[in-house]
Amino acid sequence: MSDALVKKYGDTRLPRYTSYPTAPAFAPTIGPSDYARALGELDVNDPVSLYLHIPFCRSMCWYCGCHTTITKQDAPILDYLDVMMREIELVTGSSRDVLPVRNVHFGGGTPTIMRPEEFATLIEKLRSAFRFGSDASIAVEIDPRTLSREMIGALGRNGVNRASLGVQSFDPIVQKAINRVQTFNETKKAVFGLRANGTESVNFDLIYGLPFQTVASCVETVEMAVELRPDRFAVFGYAHVPSFKKHQRLIDESSLPNAEERNRQAEAIARALVSAGYMQIGLDHFALPEDGLATASGAGALHRNFQGYTTDDCQTLIGLGASSIGKLPSGYYQNDVAIGRYAAMVSEGILPTAKGYRLTEEDRLRARIIERLMCDFEVDLAEIVDGSGYETSFLTERNEQLAKLVCDGVALVDGTRIRVQKDSRFLVRAVAAAFDAYAGAFGRTHSKLA
């Protein structure tokens, strides 16, 4: 892709479209009573997914964009887990019956910061509160630097079959610049231990656009990572937002690559992974051909949620923990970000919903279009609007952003079908934004295009 196109569209901050509308559209007009009502309206025969946010780490990685708190002590973690247990009771008490669960995802922070026995207790609580299917998937995000052998055993005994490991970069210069020194052997030990204890699928997270990172160091990281043969890779561009994440001010901005260099790094990583036998999935994921993500992509059954590309087709995601976001048929519901306020509300027997968004029919329509573009790089508007009461012209007429993208050769319009050109797929977020009714309405709060 030309540097001119990267420069033209790459300077604009755009969402990753892991939801639509995106989080800046959420408002405090949605509260606990709205969430309780939405939970009570759920069809108890439809499987749901659970997301549990554990917002604690032992040290701060300076690139981090997550809601997390640094603690050297275990007491805050224990207190938080007690509150989360109570929140589970509040959620299940608001639903009409015991909800069936198909997927569970532990995110953070560092979910494995808790002790093995605490993790077992939390899993037991979930299994008693919800109805787990025999094929339920349980995934955990892991920092290999702090993963103990005892915790690996606990994950295996409690049904964890998917793990996502933070790698980011194996370049020691980059690691020092982001305050995350992690050796290859630490990562290898974690992978071997997890696989020996029943983890069926392993994902590595890589990041480009980090301080002092180069195309060569990105490729070297890939070459080292593929030696461990993870099933999947998620490759993200570093989002530098020091006004929002103050610890990012510790990163020297002069050491960050520009948009053109970021693009070269992303393309080099993609080439190296494809050469190593991985299939590119959507914008930024890669999977071995036999992996379920690759199968879903080939079948047009890929989905996108807050964890990125996924095979999870559940219509309901229940978020648990401070800052977590749930998606129900009626809309989005986000818990209070501040751990103290979250805990206070739960302790008072109140669902800790701080804000949210009630979906309209037009939102649902645009969400389907954006998801298909992000997953398949193309969408047939006629198929999407069929039976909705909307016309395709409603989406394309006077759509100046789409017209510019077509004029620049980024997108192609063929009847009612919109396609992102193969050599411009890096700009799919810009094409998706052409169908975002709220694009630019909430300020520059998202990461740059890469």
Query: By percentage, how much of the chain surpasses pLDDT 90?
Result: 90
Classify residue 282 by its DSSP letter: T
As to burial, measured by CB atoms within 10 angstroms (0-12 exposed, 13-18 middle, 19+ buried), residue 124 is: exposed
**Please, which pLDDT band fits residue 450 given cuts at 50, 70 and 90?**
very low
DSSP state of 319: E
Q: Of 341, 331, 362, 349, which is closest to residue 37 (Cα–Cα)?
A: 331
Per-residue pLDDT, 365 = 97
Please determine, for residue 78, whether its predicted confidence score (pLDDT) is greater than 90. yes
H helices, E strands: number in the chain: 16, 19
Q: Residue 388 pLDDT > 70, yes or no?
A: yes
Quote the pLDDT of residue 444. Answer: 43
Nearest 5°: the CA angle 106, 315, 297 is 80
**In this model, does residue 176 exceed pLDDT 80?**
yes
pLDDT, residue 446, reads: 45
- C-alpha 393/C-alpha 214 separation (Å) is 44
- The confidence band for 119, taking pLDDT boundaries of 50, 70 and 90, is very high
Q: Average pLDDT for residues 388-410, to the nearest whole number? A: 94
Q: What is the pLDDT of residue 39?
A: 98
Average of pLDDT values for 36-55? 97
- In this structure, the number of other CB atoms found within 10 A of the CB of residue 73 comes to 8
| Confidence (pLDDT) at 442 | 55
Torsion sign, CA atoms 219, 225, 231, 233: negative
- The dihedrals phi and psi of 270, each to the nearest 5 degrees, come to -60, -45
Residue 1, pLDDT above cutoff 80: no
Segments making up each domain of the chain, as ranges: 1-14+361-442, 15-320
Residue type (1 letter), 212: F
Is 169's pLDDT higher than 80?
yes
**Gyration radius of the chain over CA positions:** 21
Please tell me what DSSP assigns to residue 184. Answer: H
Band of pLDDT at residue 6, cut at 50, 70 and 90: confident
Architecture per CATH, domain 15-320, reads as Alpha-Beta Horseshoe (3.80)
pLDDT tops 50 at residue 449? no
Q: Closest Cα partner for 54 from 44, 41, 68?
A: 68
**Whole-number pLDDT of residue 347:** 97
For 213-234, what is each residue's pLDDT tens digit? 999 999 999 999 999 999 999 9
Among 3.30.1120.10, 1.10.10.920, 1.10.510.10, 3.40.50.300, name the CATH number for the domain at 1-14+361-442. 1.10.10.920
Tell me: pLDDT of 60 over 90: yes
Strands 331-335, 325-328: pairing is: antiparallel
Evaluate if residue 202 carries a pLDDT over 70.
yes
Considering the chain, what is the average pLDDT of its residues? 94
State how far the Cα of 124 lies from the Cα of 162, in Å rounded to an integer. Answer: 18
Predicted TM-score (pTM) of the model is 0.94
Convert the pLDDT of each residue in 250-304 to its tens digit.
999 999 999 889 989 999 999 999 999 999 999 999 999 999 999 999 999 999 9
